[in-house]
Amino acid sequence: MAEITASAVKSLREKTGAGMVDCKNALVEANGDEAAAIEILRKKGMATAGKKAGRVTAEGVVGSYIHMGGKVGVMVEVNCESDFVARGDEFQQLVKDVAMHIAAADPRFLNREEVPADVLDKEREILMDQLKNDPKNAGKPEDVLGKIIDGRLNKYYEENVLLDQPFVKDPSKTIGELVAEKIASIKENITIRRYTRYKMGEGIEKKADDFAAEVASMVG
């Protein structure tokens, strides 16, 4: 029987919106085959997010969040299928939560597909150097080190990719899982399309005062 990892269960949950236990049981039944597990969940009526994933999301809202004091601001576009849902309290709250999360967590990318190849290559290079400099990895073949690196890249995604980041209000779930839950609850497909985060003064070169030199000039 194939080993059912936590990351496999998490991935299936994000794609289907089914519960963690249901996802694990489906993977066990499918011997680790994700596609087969999705089919099992769909037959049982549990893969709500998966069934709606291909549906067009042309409605929605642009939400915003301004951090206390006006130091950080966020605008985010979240889409759904109907204007009726877009105006609903549950969807509006989701948009507010996502905007607030972006302000707090500062994700660099919306999803894994947006991470440039050169950025991932550089990250892999750094991780490989770290592994090779660790005596515990002496003698391990390159393919084994490569699998370790693939696992550690998940940490990079959790820190930098919005959909992979733990939700600031409930770190037991990711933003991707939060969206999947809302799809299951609202019964419409929902997508986070884009966002912009502003930080006051970002990109402006501030004058660096040399306090010691200033005092010396006054004394001299």
Domains located in the chain, CATH noted: 1-53 (1.10.8.10), 55-199 (3.30.479.20)
Say how many C-beta atoms besides its own lie within 10 A of residue 124's C-beta: 16
Are 145 and 198 in contact by the 8 Å Cβ rule? The answer is no
pLDDT of amino acid 63: 96
Name the amino acid, one letter, at 115. Answer: V
Give residue 106's pLDDT: 96
Q: Sign of the CA dihedral 28, 30, 35, 40? A: negative
Helices then strands, counting H and E runs in the chain, come out as 10, 5
How many residues does this entry show for the chain? 220
- Calculate the alpha carbon distances from 132 to 33, 35, 121, 149, 152 in Å: 32, 35, 16, 11, 14
Contact in structure between 152 and 129 (CB atoms under 8 Å):
no
Residues of the chain with pLDDT under 70: 1, 17, 45-54, 56, 206-220
Return the pLDDT at 43: 73
Write down the mean pLDDT value for the chain: 85
pLDDT, residue 51, reads: 59
Is the pTM value of this prediction over 0.75?
no
Q: What is the model's pLDDT at position 199?
A: 92
